[in-house]
Structures are given as structure tokens and as C-alpha cells.
Amino acid sequence: MFLILIKLAWRNILRNKRRTIIASIAISIGLAALIFGDAFMIGMMENLIKTATDSFIGDAQIHQQEFRDTREVSMTIQELDEVGANLAKEANVQYFTRRTFAPGMIASSANRSAINLVGVQPSTEKLLSQIDDAIIGGGFFEKANEHDIVIGSKLAEILEVALGDKVVVTVVQAKSGDYFEDWFRVSGIYYFADAAMNSGMAFVRLKKAQQMLAIGPNVHEIAIKFTSTEYGQDKQVPFWKTYSQHGNEALSWTEILPQLPKVFAMSEYSKYIMGIVLFGVVIFGIINTLFMSLYERMFEFGVLRAVGTRSFGMARIVLFEAGALAVVSILLGAILGFVLTTIFANIGIDYTGNEMMGVTVQEFIYPVLTIEQFTVYPLAVFIFTIVAGLYPAWHVAKMSPVDAMRRSF
Amino acid sequence: MEQTQKTDVIVTEGVTKVYDADGIPVNALNGVDLTIQSGEFTAIVGPSGSGKTTFLNIISGLDAPTEGKVLLSGKVLSEMGGNELSDFRRDNIGFIFQAYNLIPVLTVEENVEYIMLLAGVPKAERHDRVVAMLETVGLKDVEDRLPTQLSGGQQQRVAIARAMVSEPAIILADEPTANLDSKTGAALLDMMSQLNAETGMTFIFSTHDPMVMESARRLITLCDGQIDTDEMK
Ligand SMILES: Nc1ncnc2c1ncn2[C@@H]1O[C@H](COP(=O)(O)OP(=O)(O)O)[C@@H](O)[C@H]1O
Ligand SMILES: [Mg+2]
């Protein structure tokens, strides 16, 4: 019985090839769009996470509690030696680097600008952030000169300075509140698409910064890179508790950039809405296609009913036809989605320079193919198509054979 | 030939059918009382619109009478549920329609096989019965053809094969020769007559072709939804 139903369904959908092609193209475009949309979304998320974490933030950070709110220069990490020693022993920590932050003023002979003066350890900073990769002139603390300063290209433009030019940086010291001024020579210029980084920051050696701020060997931040990105997103691991002691707090990038995970959750949601709208359209297409095909074959249905097919059997014939249409469309859509996504996964999509959720896209977005796109979505399309077939099926099931056969003459 | 006791296969009592044609009631049948016995070869004749199709639809349970009662092999049709009625038709009635009897996307074998599939007959037996039945109706080696690859007469013979393959008690044919030329039509009727004699199945067919009427052994004339004449030959 099963076999004859499949034969009936298959041959009937091949009967009007043009109609079948139009219907299945509509469904398959829907599926392909869903696959591509999902792949793009994943690619974008990965891109944003990578940009956010790799460029400067890292997977996790340790500060003194409330430093992030107050940006108080005196609020340095507590028990720094112990924290540093422990981090060095952590199996999941790949790299970590120390930083100081202080609001300040940078001045050249031409201009002045408010900045955030960042003290860094060049050897580990290189491993953790991408400032060294973004250098477009000079280097990233390659020579052992304590008066070296690395600034963004936009800041260089504002200050009208070039490599080797002299600038003066003024900061406010911890505790005393005294102004402290020192001179630097521009030894490196980087370019970041992110405006805040490109024009609002200046990097000097950690030692120099500590001395200017009069904070001794203390720092404000330790940025950490884990061996796996997932580890940084897992709130269950003991890491967070261990390093949130002594008045410090250890935060994951998901907390440092809370808008990102929120946006991901939202994009997940918008994906469902897109899917539902898409399938709403598809469902009407299928119902329409099936009905057109049914009305042409009323007499046949009448004959099948007359010779003893039960009403459920009649419905089953229509549902098999919907299923056959779904299978054809799914194959077509999966191939289309795969090809489209693969092409863009190779060439990438240029969103660079656009700011999304506070993160400026630095690299091309590469859509990511997943197994779910070719299992869950096709299954959803199949179920949607069968659901769409229910109404025509019900219509045929309750139809009287006499009416069906008379209407055709 | 079987020597069975004659029984009443079809009994109608006061069957009336009123159609509603856009608000206007149409009396298609006006109190038809009729008894048909097993093994009969009966023609229902009458001009177009006299109620032949309506009558055949009602005695096969495809349509319900407005009033009156139909008994088929002793069972009251109106007392059967939907699936019961479907199964009853499948097992007890063979249908031959005027035209387009066959499902165009199914081969001749699949068309004839379909009812046996519904009844759950095993595969090997199905094939044997299809081949035997096609031979009975004078068609050989057409199992794998599609209906469109056959002539009108051949298609009607396949329809006879399908109607008879599950060995129902009754074969109902609504103007089976209407779409055939007179020679082919006559040949088809001869075949049905012969099959009736050989198998003892009850054949009831409608027609308005005088030549076809000749071969009937009982002739019932319908006029305006009533039995006009009823003669045995
Ligand atoms: N579904 C229907 N609605 C309204 N009138 C119908 C319907 N079916 C048949 N009739 C009418 O009933 C009468 C008998 O029709 P029918 O049984 O088809 O006659 P026949 O088969 O002898 O030509 C005709 O007048 C026809 O117009
Ligand atoms: Mg008629």
C-alpha cells in the first residue's frame, strides 16, 4: 500500500512539472534563505566575539571590584602577586597580561586631546590583543625605550604628529591627586576600525605608566586568554569564584560586553520570526498548489473513493503528495543553501567598519555551515509542508464521491 | 458454473431522491421499489435525466436516498458507518463508469491491483490475479502500460477487470459503452454477458443505447424517476 501511495504521489507531482517546479522553487528558496541566514548569523556572532575578545578585551578580565564603574586610578587589583602566581598555574589560561588605565591629556605642538593612557606589557600584550597586528607605521615597543608611545592613526591625525614626533602626556596621580607630566616619542601608529580605540587611547610601557600614576607595582586590569573560547562563556567553571576574592572580580567577556549575548539571543528570536513568516508564505503556496492539482483530478478522486478507499485513505493520498513536494523542495533548497553558503563562506561578506552592538567589525564575516541547518530546518520544512497539506487532505477526505465525479463533467 | 440458490442481492423500498438545484427541488427518483436477484444481467434504461445514475449511486451507497431503504446482500446501507460503507463497496461492488475509470498515473496492473491493495491481498497473489483477470477480459501483456496507451475499448475492459478482480457479488456499470463506437460497445456487452454467465456475478448496467439493451436479460425502464416497465426476456 505504502509503495502505491508513493508512486501515486510522485507521478502526480511530475504530472504538472511547471506547477511543481514553481512551488518547490518557492519552498526551496525559503529553505535556502533560512540556511544562509542562520549560517550568516553564526558567522557574524563568531566574528563579533572574535573581534571583541581578540582585539583588546580578551576572554576574561580581573579588576578590583568597582574599578569598572569608577575608573579610579587608586583602585588597583588586590593581592596582585598571588593572583599572578595562580594564573600562571591555571591549565585553562593560555596567556594573561597586566594593564593600567588612566584618563589623561595628550598634547603635541599643534593640538591636544583627551585620552585613556594604557600601560601594557608588550611581550604578553602582543599575544592577547591585536594592536601589534594593526600597526601601520613604526612598531609595537620593539626598542627598549621607556619614552615610546603607540597611538592610533586618528589620534595622530588630530595631533598632527608623525612617527618620531614628540608629545606630552598629563595624568592625575593616585592618592595625592597631583598632575604628572611626561614626554614621549611616537614610536608606533596603529589603525583600528573602532573609533574609540583609534582616537581615544595611547599605549605606553607598564613600568612607565605605574611610575607616572605613582601606584608602585600595581595594575588595574589583568586580561586573560583561555585555551578555548567556550571556557570563557561557561559560568559554572570555578575560575570566576577563585579570582573574585580579596575584593577583586573576575568577569567573562559576556559580562564585559553584555550587549553581545543579548543581541545573539535576539537574533535567535528574529530568526524564528523570519522562519515563521517565510513558512506562512510557503504554506499558502503549497495549499494553493495542492488545491489546483486536486481540482483537476476530482473525477479520479471520486473513482478512488467509489471503489472503496476510506476517507482517511483519501487524505493519505494528498498528504503523500504534499510529502513528495516537500522532499523535492528540501533537496533543492538544501543544495541551494549549501552552495550559496559555501560560496560566501569562502569569499566572505564585507561588513568591516560597521559598528554592531558596540563592536566594530574588523574582518569579513564568513557564514558557518552546521549540521542543524541540514537536519532541523529540512525537517521543519517537511513538517510545515505536511501541515499545509492537512487542509486539502481534509477537503478530499470529506468529499462525496458522487459530487466529485459529477463536477468533472 | 455455480449452482447456487437465487437470493435477493438488491432490494429497494420506496427510494426517493430529491436534489436541491440552487433552491429548486428536483425529484430525481420517485419511490422506486425493486428487487434484483443474484446472477441477474439487468439493464436500466431511460432517456437522459430519467434518474439512472442517481439510482445506481444510491444502490451502491455512493449517495444516500432522501427517503426509502436500500438493502444490499441483506444489509441496510443507511445503517453503515463511513469506513464500513467504504469496505463494503470494496468487497461487494465492482464499479465501471462511463469513462476515465482508470487512474492515469498508474499502470494497468496497478489500477487493477489497487482494490486488492486496499483489501490487503498478498503481493504474489495480486499479480497472479491481475494477469488472470486481464486474460479473462481478452487483454494480454498490457500490465505495464499506462491507460493513455490503450484504446477506449481496452480501457473499459481494464475497468471490467478491476471491477471483477476482487470477486464482488455485484457489478454496477453506468453507461459503460457510452464513449465507445457501437461495434466496440457491443463486443464489451457480449463480454460482460459471458462473464455473468460464467461467474454468476450480478451485473446491473444503465444505458440508452437500444442495441445494448438487446443483450440484457431483464430490462427496467425508468421515466421521470419511476419504474415504467420491468420485463424479463
Ligand atoms: N447533484 C444534483 N443536483 C441537482 N440535480 C441533479 C443532481 N444530480 C442529478 N440531478 C438531476 O436529477 C435528474 C436525474 O439525473 P441522473 O440520475 O443523472 O439521470 P441519468 O443518469 O438518467 O441521465 C436529472 O434531472 C438531473 O438534472
Ligand atoms: Mg447518467
B21 lines ligand 1 (CB under 6 A): yes
In angstroms, the first-to-last Cα distance of chain B is 21
How many whole angstroms separate alpha carbon A62 and alpha carbon B99? 85
Calculate the CA dihedral of residues B122, B125, B127, B130 and round it to 10 degrees.
-120
**CB neighbour list of residue B155: distance below 8 Å, 6 or more residues apart:** B99, B101, B102, B147
Question: Strand, helix or coil at A213?
Answer: helix
Instruction: Tell me the pairing of strands A179-190 and A166-172.
Output: antiparallel
pLDDT attached to residue B212: 81
Domain residues of chain A, as ranges?
Answer: 2-52+261-404, 66-246
Whether residue A293 is predicted with pLDDT greater than 60 in this model: the reply is: yes
Q: Which residue of B has its CA nearest to A13?
A: B105
Q: Would residue A386 be called left, alpha or beta, if left means φ above 0 and alpha means ψ between -120 and 50 degrees?
A: alpha
For B210-226, how does the pLDDT look when each residue is reduced to its tens digit (9 = 90+)?
888 888 999 999 999 99
Whether B50 is in the pocket of ligand 1, judged by its Cβ within 6 Å, is yes
- Domain residue extents for chain B: 8-232
A308 vs B62: CB contact, 8 Å cut-off? no
Q: What is the arithmetic mean of pLDDT over A167-194? A: 90
**ipTM of the complex as predicted:** 0.93
pLDDT digits (tens, 9 = 90+) for A198-252: 899 999 999 999 999 999 999 999 999 999 878 888 888 899 999 998 999 999 9
Cell numbers standing for residue B33: 421499489
pLDDT tens per residue, range B157-209: 999 999 999 899 999 999 999 888 988 988 899 999 999 999 999 999 999 88
Which pLDDT value is given to residue B193?
A: 93
In angstroms, the Cα distances linking A155 to A125, A168, A197, B37 are 21, 13, 9, 108
d(CA A234, CA A252): 9
Q: Is B104 on the interface with A (CB under 8 A)?
A: yes
Looking at residues A183-191, what average pLDDT do you find? Answer: 94
Rounded mean pLDDT, B1-28: 85
Query: Do A379 and A390 form a contact (C-beta atoms < 8 A)?
Result: no
B100 lines ligand 1 (CB under 6 A): no
- Chain A residues closer than 8 Å to B28 by CB: none
pLDDT band for position B2 (cuts 50, 70, 90): very low
Q: How deeply is A301 buried, as exposed, middle or buried, from its count of CB atoms within 10 A (0-12, 13-18, 19+)?
A: buried
User: Does any CB of chain B come closer than 8 Å to the CB of residue A4?
Assistant: yes
Please report the DSSP string for chain B in residue order.
Answer: ---PPP-EEEEEEEEEEEEEETTEEEEEEEEEEEEEETT-EEEEE-STTSSHHHHHHHHTTSS--SEEEEEETTEEGGGS-HHHHHHHHHHHEEEE-SS--S-TTS-HHHHHHHHHHHHT--HHHHHHHHHHHHHHTT--S-TTS-GGGS-HHHHHHHHHHHHHTT--SEEEEESTTTTS-HHHHHHHHHHHHHHHHHH--EEEEEE--HHHHHT-SEEEEEETTEEEEEEE-
Question: What is the number of other CB atoms lying within 10 angstroms of the CB of residue A132?
Answer: 18
Q: Would you call A304 and B62 a contact, using CB atoms and an 8 Å cutoff?
A: no
Pocket test for ligand 1, best of B53, B60, B62, B222 (most atoms within 8 A of CB): B53
Homologous superfamily in CATH for domain B8-232: P-loop containing nucleotide triphosphate hydrolases (3.40.50.300)
Q: Share the mean pLDDT of chain A.
A: 89
Q: State pLDDT tens for residues A305-322.
A: 999 999 999 999 999 999
A9-20 pLDDT, tens digit each: 999 988 888 988
* Residue A5 forms contact with B (CB below 8 Å): no
CA of B57, closest atom in ligand 1: 17
Is A409 a residue whose pLDDT tops 60? Answer: no
The model carries a pTM of 0.79
Would the pLDDT of A408 be above 50?
A: no
* Residue B224 touches chain A, beta carbons under 8 Å: no
- Pick the atom of ligand 1 nearest to B56's CA: 17
Q: Which three cell numbers stand for residue A359?
A: 563592536
Indicate if ligand 1 lies below 6 Å from the C-beta of B73: no
- Among A7, A303, A311, A399, most B C-beta atoms within 10 A, so best to mutate, is A303
pLDDT value, residue B1: 44
Q: Determine the straight-line distance between the first and last CA of chain A, rounded to whole angstroms.
A: 30
Testing ligand 1's pocket by substitution, the residue of B17, B19, B55, B56 carrying the most ligand atoms inside 8 A of its CB is B19
pLDDT digits (tens, 9 = 90+) for A92-150: 999 999 999 999 999 999 999 999 999 999 999 999 988 888 899 889 998 888 999 99
pLDDT for A36:
92
Looking at chain A, which residue has its C-alpha nearest residue B99? A299
Give residue A266 CA to ligand 2 midpoint distance, Å: 64
The answer to whether A194 touches A170, Cβ cutoff 8 Å, is no
pLDDT digits (tens, 9 = 90+) for A318-374: 999 999 999 999 999 999 999 999 999 999 988 877 776 666 777 888 999 999 999
**B57-106 tens-digit pLDDT:** 999 999 999 999 999 988 999 999 899 999 999 999 999 998 888 999 99
Q: Does the beta carbon of B52 lie inside 6 Å of ligand 1?
A: yes
Give the closest residue (by CA) to ligand 1 atom 1.
B19
What is the mean predicted confidence (pLDDT) over A162-178? Answer: 90
